[in-house]
Amino acid sequence: MAERGTGAGLQMAERIVRVLKAFADSGSALGVSELARRLDLPKSVVHRTLTSLVGTGFLQKEEASGRYRLGPEAIGLGLAALGRVDLVEIALPHMEVLRSRTGETVTLSVRVGNARVYVAQLVSPQDVKMTVEIGRRWPLYAGASGRAMLAMLSPADLEQHFATVELVALTERTIVAPDALRASLAAVRAQGYAVSLGERDPWAGAVAAAVITPAQGVLGAVSVCGPLPRFTQERVEAFVPALKEAVQGIAERLGATSRVLPVP
């Protein structure tokens, strides 16, 4: 009996790992039927596993759609594995100030290989606002947060990115021509921030800057984002000083000085 019990426990543990990995690989919300097809498991088994993981906080259920996504416990575990478990706690007070000064949604992303993942957001108090999906994976080359981090990577890491990542357009404004992307990254390095006007989401605008320390390199990026019509050049330029103060403050709290450059 003990052996059968142990075997059942191992089978359950393996199933939980497969489910969580499916969400991590997908980078988006999944439904019971879709997940059952991906894992070749009965829907009843998948549903029980998802319910258990929601109870532990490793998954969250979207009430409107009935789909599931990674929860705060899974995201916290991932940050711990990356050695960035304190980043969100340290960043949130600075993000609060930034949201107050801009009136827009403020997000925090971290780099995971050649991708980035949203790990925190403070939503705009305005009626029309932008929200992001925490835990969702996006390519580094698309959008302000990704390019803010990509531009600050070492030359070797940057070349590795160009050698291994296929540049696929997410919208008609995504920069996918290698020469154009390199030029854009050079501009981000020179000015210390990146701007996206419909690159990742056709209806969204954003301005972002990387959080960097000499000891750990690029740790993440903070963005100010919202509906595209509100992101005029004048407003973006007005956001930049507050954005840079935020990432500078986060970097200093992490025990180092940010490499984000001053506005020219």
CA 1, CA 258: separation in Å to the nearest integer?
58
**What is the reported pLDDT for 6?**
59
Domain spans, the chain = 2-70, 83-253
CATH of region 2-70: 1.10.10.10
CA 144, CA 140: separation in Å to the nearest integer?
9
Q: What is the pLDDT along the chain (264 residues), one digit of tens a residue?
A: 444 455 666 777 788 888 877 776 665 678 888 888 888 888 888 888 888 888 877 777 877 788 887 766 666 566 555 555 578 888 999 999 999 999 999 999 988 778 888 888 999 999 999 998 877 788 999 999 999 999 999 999 999 999 999 999 999 999 999 999 999 999 999 999 999 999 999 999 999 999 998 877 888 999 999 999 999 999 999 999 999 999 999 998 886 434 443 333
Q: Which CATH superfamily is domain 83-253 in?
A: GAF domain (3.30.450.40)
Q: What is the pTM of this model?
A: 0.73
Closest CA relative to residue 28, chosen from 119, 138, 144: 138
Closest CA relative to residue 201, chosen from 151, 119, 138: 138
Token pair, residue 2, equals 């003990």
